[in-house]
Amino acid sequence: MDSIHICTGCGAKNRVPHNKAGLKPKCGKCGVSLVGAPVAGRVNPLGDRDFGARVELSSQPVLVDFYSPTCGPCQMLAPVLDSLAARFSGRLLIYKINTAIEQATAARLGIRGVPTLIFFKHGGEVDRVVGAIPEDDLARRIQAFLG
CB 40 within 8 Å of CB 4: yes
CB of residue 27 to Zn ion, shortest distance in Å: 3
CB of residue 34 to Zn ion, shortest distance in Å: 8
Q: Which is nearer to Zn ion, 9 or 41 (CB)?
A: 9
CB 78 within 8 Å of CB 66: no
Is 30 catalytic? The answer is no
Catalytic residue (one of 7, 10, 30, 74): 74
CB of residue 39 to Zn ion, shortest distance in Å: 15
Is 71 catalytic? The answer is yes
Please give the residue ranges that form the binding site for Zn ion (CB under 5 A).
Answer: 7, 9-10, 12, 27, 29-30, 32
Burial environment of residue 59 by CB neighbours within 10 A (0 to 12, 13 to 18, 19 or more) = middle
Q: Which is nearer to Zn ion, 25 or 41 (CB)?
A: 25
**Alpha helices of the chain — where are they, by DSSP H?**
48-51, 72-87, 104-108, 135-146
Residues marked active site are found at 71, 74
